[in-house]
Structure 1
Amino acid sequence: MTQPPPPPNQPPNQPPNQPPGQPPQGGFGAPQDPPPGGFGAPTPPPAQNPSYGYPQPQPPAQPSQGQPGYGYPQAPGQVPGYGYPQAPPAGAPPAQPGYGYPTTPMQPQYMQPQPGGSGGGGGKKLSTQMQIIIAASLAVVLIVVGGIWFASKDDGGGKTDDSKSSSGGSSQGPNGGSTSGGKAADGAGKEQAPANIHSKVAFQLPEPARTDLTSVKGSWVTDKAYVKPGVNSLVGYDAAKGTPLWTLPLAGQICAASRHLSEDNKAAIVFEAAKRTPPKNYQPCTEVGVVDLGTGKLLWSKSVTGASSGDGKVNFTEVTQSGTTVAGGGTDGGAAFDLNSGAVRWKPTANAEGCYDMGYGGGPALVAARKCGSYDNPQVIIQGLNPANGTPLFSYKMPPGVGYASVISTKPLVVAADVGDTGSGGISDFFSLDDKGALRAKISATGDKFQARCGSTEVETCQKAVVGNGRLYLPTADHEGTGEYGDTNEIVSYDLATGKPTSDRADAGDRYTMFPIRMDGGNIIAYKWPPYDKGGQIVSIDGSTFKQTVLMDNPADKAVREAETSFSTDFAEYRYANGRLYVGAVLMSKPSSSSSSFGKKYLAVAFSTAD
C-alpha cells in the first residue's frame, strides 16, 4: 500500500509544548473546570427565602401530549460549556416536535348549532325539539369516536402504555431497523435492570501529578478491571473497588488508545518514546504497542520509519484494531502491525499522487480515511482494506471541500464529515455506504441541531453517535422544556438505507438531557445528564419499541453530583458494563495555583448498583 508524504502545507502555529493533533489548552476539548466542592455532605434544603436568582421550588410540570419533556438546568451560577445552546436552534421551534416525527393527532371538532340557522343572518330559529334531536345525535357521535380512540390506546389489559405512543416504532424491512411490536434487528441486549437501580459511589481516582497539559486518552472495562492511563503508565484498577491490580510503566506518555478490544482483552496504544522534561513538555508519539489487560504486560512495542519522516520515526495520533490487525495513522501516514507478534504489515511509502492514510476505523472491519492532493485542495477517500496487507477492497470519494472524515461504524459503514467547513462539531453530514463502497444515503445532521461530535483531524474519535438496527442514533440539541427551569432533548434515528428520519424518539424527560454511549445488541445504552438537584442516569432504550428502562440512578448528593458533572460530556469517556458506570477524563490541564478554587478534579469516577 503506497503512502507518500503528506502535503507540505500543514496547519500552522502548532504550540511548541503541545503534541500535534491535541486541542490547545483551555480551548475546544480542554477539560472544563468543575463547580466547587468534592465528595462531602449532601446539600441542605433551600431556605424559605432563597437569594435572588436561585430557582424557586415548583410543582412538577406536565408536558402536553406530543411535546417533549423538559429539563436540564445548569447548576446555579454555572457557566454553560461548549455545545450548550440556550435557545432552540433555528428552524426548529420548541413548540413543534420536529426532526421528522409525526405530530399529535388532531382531535375531532364539531360544529355547534348557531342561532339563526346556517349561512348567516336572517334564518329561522331552531325549535326546541330540533335542538334536542341535534344534541342527541352529537352525543352518539362523540361516544362512538371516543370509544374508538380509547380502544386504540388500550393495551388489552385496560392500561395505557405510554412508551408506545412516544416511541412510534414503525414497521421496516431487514435494513429498516426496528419493527413495531417485534424485536430489534440486532437482537436482545445483555444489560438488565438490577433489583435496586439506585447506585452508590464505587470509587474516585484523583488526578495524578503532572507538569503540563497531559493526555490520558483511553479506558477499557473487563470482567475484573477498569483500565486507565496515568502519567507514563497504564494502570488496571479493581472494577468494583478501584484498588490497583497492576501498573505498567511506559517509556513515555500515552498519546492514543484503541477503543476496540480483542476477544482475549488485548488493546493497542500509542505512546511517547521518552519522558517529558520541562520546559519542552512534549515528546513525539512514535511507539505502538499492545497490552494484555488481564495481566498488565506490554506484549510488544514497535516504531517504523516512512518516506515522509526521513530517517526519523513516524508519528501517530491515533490507533485502532480489527481482528488481528493494529493500525495507526496521522499526518505522517499509516502503518499496521500484527496484533499478536507486532510484525509490520505495512508502513508509509511515497507515490506520485501525494496520498497518505490519516487514520483508520476498526472493529468488525478495517477502513482507511485517505487524503490526497494539496492542503488547499484536498481529496479525501474512504477505503475498505484487506487487514492482512492493506490492499484496498473499495474506494469512495468524499465530496469536494471535505478535508477530514471520521468513521462512526465500519459495519455497516457510516462516515461523518463537515462538508463546507461549517464548524458544527466536525459534522454537517453522515454518509451511509454499502459493503462495496457505494453510497446508500446521505444524512444532513448539522451540529446546531444535534450533539454528535467528532475530532477535527482524527478518524475514530466521534462521540454521541451510535449505529445499530440499520439506523444511526443521534441526540438532538438541547432546547427549552415545558418546565420553568432547564432544558431537555431527545434521541432520534435515521434509516441508513434511505437516509430518512424514522419515528423513533426517546425523550430525556423533565430537566434531563441524554446521549447514546453504545449499542447493547439492538438496544441503545444512553447516559442522562442530571439537573442541578439530581444525579445522572443510565437507561437502556429498546431498539424496537423505544421504551426506556432505567439501569442506574446516581445519588443526588451535592458533592457526588458535582464530581459526576465535573467532566465535559464532549471530552470524557463514558463506559457502562455489568451494573457499573465509569466516567474518565481524556485530557488534564496544566496545574495552576488557582485550580483548587474550582473544586476537586478527578481522573475517573465510578458508580455501581452491584453488591
Structure 2
Amino acid sequence: MTQPPQPPQQPPNEPPQDAFQKQPEAPQPPAAPPAPPAGGFGAPTTPPPGGFGAPTPPAPAAPPVAPPQAPATPPGYGYPAPQPQQPPTPAYGQQPYGQPQFGQQQAYGQQQYGQQQYGYPQPPTTPLAATGGGSGDGGGKKGVSPVVWIVTAAVVVIALIVGGGIWYAGSSDDGKGDKKNTADGKDKGGDTGGGKGKDGTGFGGAGQEKVPANTAASIAFQLPAPQVAKDTVDSVKGSWLTDTVYAKAGVNEIVGYDPATGAKKWTLPLPGETCGSSTDVTKDGLAAVVSEDAKRPKGGDHQTCSQITLFDVNTGQKKWTKSVGTGASALTFEELSFTGDTLAVGGGLRGGAAFDLAGNILWKPQQGTCEDVGYSGGEQLVAVRKCGDYDNEKYEVQLLDPKTGSPKWSYKLATGLDNAKVLSTNPVVFGVGTGDNAAGTITDIFSLDASGKLVTKISIDDEKYDFDCEVGMTEGCSKVVVGNGRVYLATRQHDAGGDIGMTNELVSYDLKTGKSTSDRVDGGEYEIFPLRMDGGNILAYKDGPYDKGSQIVTVDGKSMKQTTLLETPATETVKNAISSMVPGSSSSEIRYSGGRLYLGKELISKPYSADEKDYTAIGFVSK
C-alpha cells in the first residue's frame, strides 16, 4: 500500500560551514601562501588552504611539485579561479569497479541485454484579495560597496588558487528542455553532454518566454482546499498548464480552471485520490495521473494506487482508465512519464509497465529477480532497474526502446548505490546520494554518452548545494536542471555580509569535463534556484526578501544577464500564501508560461483553526 510522501524539510537558513567542493580524493601538492594584497581597506587574513575551513590535503606520496602560481591580475569579482587539473576520481573506493578516465571503457562494463524489459500538510493562510499590486522593478538592492566586494573577492580567490581549493563553483546558466509542456517546473533533457546545442554554438537557441509589457503581477485566483477529515493528510498531487487551462488535482477529482480568472471550466471525477502524475503535457494536450482504486473511508485509510487515467487537459475529457491486473492483484504505481506516444508508469513494488495513448499495454512486469524501479521520459526513455535478492540488489540505468521496453544499453552502478535519480534523458544524466541522507540528496552526478559509457562523474558536497529529492522516486529532484552540456545547481544560502544578509547563487558544472564553469548568477537579496530550461536560457525562481515579492527571471545563457519576467505583490498576506506552497521543495508544483505563474501543493490537511483557510494553489498573471 503506497504511502504519501512525507513533508519536505525546509533547508536551514544558515550559512555553510565549509567549502563547496569535497575534500580531494587524491593527494595534492603543498601550497605556499600568497603575499597579502596591499592598501585599500586592509588586507584580510589569508584563509587556510582548501578554502573556508576545509581540512588541509594530505601530503603527497611522490616528491612535491612546485605549487601553481597566482595570476598577476586577480580574477574579477564573482569569478572563481581556474582549477588545477585533478587525477580521475575513483568511485567511492569500494572495489575495482572504479570510474574510467574520459574516453576509456568503464571498468565495470557495459553490455546489451536481450531480454524483454518490464520494466505536509502546510501552514494555512488567510484569503487574499482578488487583485493586488506588485513591484515591477526586479532586482535586489545591495548595501555593500562594490569596492569592498572586489577587494575581498580578489584576496579570497588568490588564496584559494594557491591553496588548491575551490570557491563557490561558477555557473553558466543556460539550457534547453525537451519537454512538450514548457510551463512545467522540472526539465528532463538538454543537448548531448558538452556538445553543441540546437543553434550550433553549444547553446539551446532562443527561448520562448518573452518579457510582458508589465512584469508586475496581480493575483488571478486562489483555490480553497477541500474539506478533509480531522487528523488526515490527503493528496492533491498534480497540476498542468496549457494556453487555455490551468488544471489542478483535488480530492478524488481533477478540475480545469480559466488561467486568468480561476473560473471552473470542467471537472473530471477520479476513482480515488491521486498518487502520482505526469509533470508534462503531450503536444496534443494529454496528461496522466495514477489514483487510488476507491475513495478513502472515514478513517482516512489509503487505498491501492492502481488506476491510471489519461485525460485531455484542455477539455477535461477522460480518454481511458486502466490498471495492470484487477482487484487485489492490481499492481501499484507512483510515477508517470511520456516519451512520444508511450506512457511509462513506475514506482511500484513489482516493476513498471507502459501503455500507448490508446490504452493498450506495451509491456508489463515479468516474473524474475529483476524489475524496473521507475522511468523518466522526454526526448528519450530512461529506466532505473534493480536485480537480485533483498538487501543484495544491484542497480543499473538503462536507455529503453519506448515501444518494446527493451534496453538499448545498460550502465551498472557500484555496489551500495541504490537511489539513482534521473536529471536528464538527453543526454542521460543521473545523480546518486551517499551518506546518512542518501535517498533525499545528491552527492555524485554521472554524465553518460549516447552509447551509455561514462563521460564524467562529478562529486559535489550536498552540504553546499540545495537539493530536495523525493525519496524512492526516479524523478522528483528540485533545484537542479540540465542543459547546454551543463548541470545547473543552486547553492545553499549563506551570509552575504553587509546589508544584504543571506544570499545564494546559481552555479554549474560542465558535463564533459566535470569541472565547474566560470559563469555565475548571484541571487542578491533573493534566494534563487533553477526551474527549467527555455531554449538557451535558464528559467529561475527568486524568493523575495521581507519587503519584495517573488520573481520569475530568465537568464541569458551567454551574457548571464538576468531579466525579470514576473514579480508577485510584496504584501504580507501574499508572501504568506506563497510560503505555504513551499516553492522549491519536491512536494511543491510551480508552473510558469507566458506571464502566468501558478504555485500548488501536493498534500492538504484540516486547517489549524476554524477562522483560517487553506489553499491548494494560487495563480498570478502579469498586468
Which position in structure 2 is the counterpart of 1:482? 497
2:396 is equivalent to residue 381 of structure 1: yes
2:254 is equivalent to residue 231 of structure 1: no
Q: Are the counterparts in 1 of residues 337 and 375 from structure 2 also a CA contact under 8 Å?
A: yes
Q: 2:355 aligns with which of 320, 338, 343?
A: 338
Which position in structure 2 is the counterpart of 1:255? 275
Which position in structure 2 is the counterpart of 1:296? 316
Which position in structure 2 is the counterpart of 1:582? 598
Q: Are the counterparts in 2 of residues 401 and 420 from structure 1 also a CA contact under 8 Å?
A: no
Which position in structure 2 is the counterpart of 1:23? 5
2:554 is equivalent to residue 572 of structure 1: no
SS across alignment from 2:619: strand
Q: 1:33 aligns with which of 119, 123, 136?
A: 123
Counterparts of 1:395 and 1:67, CA distance in 2 = 50
- RMSD over aligned CA atoms reads 3.1
Which position in structure 2 is the counterpart of 1:315? 332
Counterparts of 1:253 and 1:174, CA distance in 2 = 38
Q: Are the counterparts in 2 of residues 472 and 493 from structure 1 also a CA contact under 8 Å?
A: yes
Which position in structure 1 is the counterpart of 2:144? 61
Q: CA deviation at 1:214?
A: 1.3
Q: Are the counterparts in 2 of residues 513 and 530 from structure 1 also a CA contact under 8 Å?
A: yes
Q: CA deviation at 1:21?
A: 4.7
Which position in structure 1 is the counterpart of 2:218? 200
Q: Which has the larger radius of gyration?
A: 1
Counterparts of 1:340 and 1:355, CA distance in 2 = 26
Counterparts of 2:226 and 2:436, CA distance in 1 = 37
Q: Are the counterparts in 2 of residues 422 and 428 from structure 1 also a CA contact under 8 Å?
A: no
Which position in structure 2 is the counterpart of 1:76? none
Q: Are the counterparts in 2 of residues 271 and 287 from structure 1 also a CA contact under 8 Å?
A: yes
Unaligned 5+ runs, structure 2: 12-119, 133-140, 154-159, 172-190
* Structure-to-structure mapping, 1:334-373, within 5 angstroms: 334-351=351-368, 354-373=369-388
Q: TM-score, normalised by structure 2?
A: 0.71
* Structure-to-structure mapping, 1:359-438, within 5 angstroms: 359-423=374-438, 425-438=440-453
For this pair of structures, how many residues does the alignment match?
A: 473
Q: CA deviation at 1:190?
A: 1.0
Counterparts of 1:595 and 1:255, CA distance in 2 = 27
Q: 1:312 to 1:387 in 2, by over 3 A?
A: same
Letter in 2 for 1:303: S
Letter in 2 for 1:244: K
Counterparts of 2:500 and 2:7, CA distance in 1 = 32
Q: Are the counterparts in 1 of residues 344 and 354 from structure 2 also a CA contact under 8 Å?
A: yes
Q: 1:40 to 1:203 in 2, by over 3 A?
A: closer
Counterparts of 2:498 and 2:130, CA distance in 1 = 28
* Structure-to-structure mapping, 1:67-466, within 5 angstroms: 98-101=167-170, 176=194, 185-211=203-229, 212-305=232-325, 312-351=329-368, 354-423=369-438, 425-466=440-481
Q: CA deviation at 1:531?
A: 0.9
Q: Are the counterparts in 2 of residues 200 and 554 from structure 1 also a CA contact under 8 Å?
A: yes
- Higher mean displacement: 484-493 or 334-343: 334-343
Counterparts of 2:509 and 2:460, CA distance in 1 = 10
Letter in 2 for 1:606: G
Q: CA deviation at 1:41?
A: 12
Letter in 1 for 2:502: D
Q: CA deviation at 1:333?
A: 2.9
Counterparts of 1:66 and 1:474, CA distance in 2 = 24
Letter in 2 for 1:269: V
Counterparts of 2:192 and 2:606, CA distance in 1 = 53
Which position in structure 1 is the counterpart of 2:507? 492
Q: 1:101 to 1:304 in 2, by over 3 A?
A: closer
Counterparts of 1:22 and 1:395, CA distance in 2 = 31
Q: CA deviation at 1:175?
A: 5.2
Q: 1:177 to 1:189 in 2, by over 3 A?
A: farther
SS across alignment from 2:573: helix
Counterparts of 2:131 and 2:243, CA distance in 1 = 32
Counterparts of 1:27 and 1:60, CA distance in 2 = 31
Give me the identity figure in percent: 44
Counterparts of 2:152 and 2:304, CA distance in 1 = 48
SS across alignment from 1:561: helix
Unaligned 5+ runs, structure 1: 1-18, 44-57, 70-90, 103-172
Q: Are the counterparts in 2 of residues 237 and 243 from structure 1 also a CA contact under 8 Å?
A: yes
SS across alignment from 2:329: coil
Q: CA deviation at 1:595?
A: 4.3
SS across alignment from 1:606: strand
Letter in 2 for 1:517: L
Q: Are the counterparts in 2 of residues 402 and 421 from structure 1 also a CA contact under 8 Å?
A: no
Q: CA deviation at 1:305?
A: 3.0
Letter in 1 for 2:563: T
Q: CA deviation at 1:27?
A: 7.0
* Structure-to-structure mapping, 1:465-476, within 5 angstroms: 465-476=480-491
Give CA deviations for 1:275-332 in whole Å, capped at 9, x if unaligned. Answer: 11122421100011211112101101111139xx9x6110112111111111111242
Counterparts of 1:262 and 1:559, CA distance in 2 = 36
- Higher mean displacement: 556-565 or 498-507: 556-565
Q: Are the counterparts in 2 of residues 42 and 559 from structure 1 also a CA contact under 8 Å?
A: no
Q: Are the counterparts in 1 of residues 581 and 601 from structure 2 also a CA contact under 8 Å?
A: yes
Which position in structure 2 is the counterpart of 1:609? 622
Counterparts of 1:435 and 1:263, CA distance in 2 = 25
Q: Are the counterparts in 2 of residues 327 and 334 from structure 1 also a CA contact under 8 Å?
A: no
Give CA deviations for 1:563-589 in whole Å, capped at 9, x if unaligned. Answer: 12222121211111010110000111x
Q: 1:26 to 1:335 in 2, by over 3 A?
A: closer
Counterparts of 1:335 and 1:177, CA distance in 2 = 32
Letter in 2 for 1:205: L
Counterparts of 2:152 and 2:256, CA distance in 1 = 42
Letter in 2 for 1:520: D
Letter in 1 for 2:167: G
Q: 1:595 to 1:26 in 2, by over 3 A?
A: farther
Q: 1:385 to 1:59 in 2, by over 3 A?
A: closer
- Higher mean displacement: 560-569 or 318-327: 560-569
Q: Are the counterparts in 2 of residues 563 and 601 from structure 1 also a CA contact under 8 Å?
A: no
Q: CA deviation at 1:338?
A: 3.3
Give CA deviations for 1:469-495 in whole Å, capped at 9, x if unaligned. Answer: 111111011111123463110001111
Q: CA deviation at 1:65?
A: 3.7
Give CA deviations for 1:537-563 in whole Å, capped at 9, x if unaligned. Answer: 110011112111111121112212221
Which position in structure 2 is the counterpart of 1:119? none
SS across alignment from 1:563: helix
Q: 1:62 to 1:22 in 2, by over 3 A?
A: farther
SS across alignment from 1:552: strand
Counterparts of 2:579 and 2:211, CA distance in 1 = 23
Q: CA deviation at 1:430?
A: 1.2
Letter in 1 for 2:143: P
Counterparts of 1:403 and 1:174, CA distance in 2 = 25
Q: 1:424 to 1:365 in 2, by over 3 A?
A: closer
Q: TM-score, normalised by structure 1?
A: 0.72
